[in-house]
Structure 1
Amino acid sequence: MALDTTIERFTTPAFAQRRARAEEVGRDAILVLARIGLAVLMFWHVKIAWDYTGGVGGLVRGFDVMGIPFPELSARFNIALESIGALALILGVGVRTIGLLMAVNMAGAWYYVHTSGLYAMDGNGPELAIAIGLLSLMFVVTGPGRVALDHVRGSRRS
């Protein structure tokens, strides 16, 4: 008899509503943490490039040597995307667009910069670029979640 009561309790509409609500809250929490995590990775990625090359001029020269098309434009775009884009991700603004741009950017980083094999001992493997690119693509599909300025702005329009 006790088992029947327990099963009934987990099959009620009220339980289903509580479970759906808990899943929504959990999804939003994970998306916020993933946005913050990606933003940290993006900012760290650009900081390393900046520090290693000595700023915009060094990054342009490095991009030129690596054969990246339009090195002047590409370097400036990379710096803007990875720094301003990181802030936008944290705030939840333009998350799908930032995600798509970062995925394309990381595909380029893999092709032009991180050319060693996976887990190469030379430290130039593409693992970080792949991880950032795939996480960025996730946001193209999922969007920012409800804890984001995009969601607040979208709610006001409705």
Structure 2
Amino acid sequence: MNSSRKTRTSVNFGLLILRVVVGITFVMHGWQKFNEWTISGTTSNFAEMGVPLPEIAAPFAAFTELIGGIALIVGLFSRIAGLLLAVVMAGSIYFVHAPAGFFVSDGGFEFVMVLGAAALAIAFTGPGRIALGGALTHRRGVSIFA
């Protein structure tokens, strides 16, 4: 195995690990909004935090986190999912966490920023070759499924 091939293999496994860990985190947060807090409770919570249009923002965030997280895990539509998840995290920083400062222990934006940056990185790089999206296309390069 030459150096270039080793690098590609390492990158693909690195992207797989990143996608799965970040995807699981988003799935759990989306699931929490549906099941533990309920959409109604999440909507009320968003309203109390001053999020605009909470009746739209809450279900959008919950669906995006749940479905987007699954998309990242399996590597299907991961570029779109990564972008949408990054947008949700940017909104979370702007509307909720920024006033509390950086540290998560104070309600700050550090955790949300890391999740958003990881999601955006996946949007830019794609899922790598170890992904369902790559199996649905025979082309090399950017696939709408990846």
Cα root mean square deviation, aligned: 2.1
The corresponding residue for 1:13 is: none
- Seen in structure 2, the aligned counterparts of structure 1 residues 19 and 121 have a Cα distance that, compared at 3 Å, is closer
2:64 partner amino acid: L
- The reply to whether residue 112 of structure 1 matches residue 95 of structure 2 is yes
Q: TM-score, normalised by structure 1?
A: 0.80
C-alpha displacement of 1:76: 0.7
Structure 1 residue 32: Cα displacement: 0.4
- Superposed CA deviations along residues 72-105 of structure 1, whole A, max 9, x for unmatched, are 1111111111111111111111111011111111
Question: Aligned equivalents of 1:109 and 1:72: distance in 2?
Answer: 15
Larger radius of gyration: 1
* Match of residue 5 from structure 1: none
Higher relative contact order (CA 8 A, sep 6+): 2
Separation of aligned partners in 2, 1:117 and 1:50: 28
Q: Which residue of 1 aligns with 2:40?
A: 57
Does the alignment pair 1:36 with 2:38? no
Contact (CA 8 Å) 2:26, 2:69: kept in 1 or not?
Answer: yes
User: Contact 2:83 / 2:119 at 8 angstroms: preserved in 1?
Assistant: yes
> What's 2:53 paired with?
70
Structure 1 unaligned segments of length 5 or more: list them: 1-16
TM-score by length of 2: 0.86
Q: Secondary structure at the match of 2:2?
A: helix
Matched residue pairs, number?
A: 140
Q: Quick check: 2:24–2:73 contact (8 Å CA) kept in 1?
A: no
Give the alignment partner of residue 88 of structure 1, picking from 71, 74, 80: 71
Query: How far does residue 129 in structure 1 lie from its aligned partner after superposition?
Result: 0.7
Percentage of matched positions with identical amino acids: 34
User: In structure 1, how many angstroms separate the alpha carbons of the residues matched to 2:94 and 2:31?
Assistant: 20
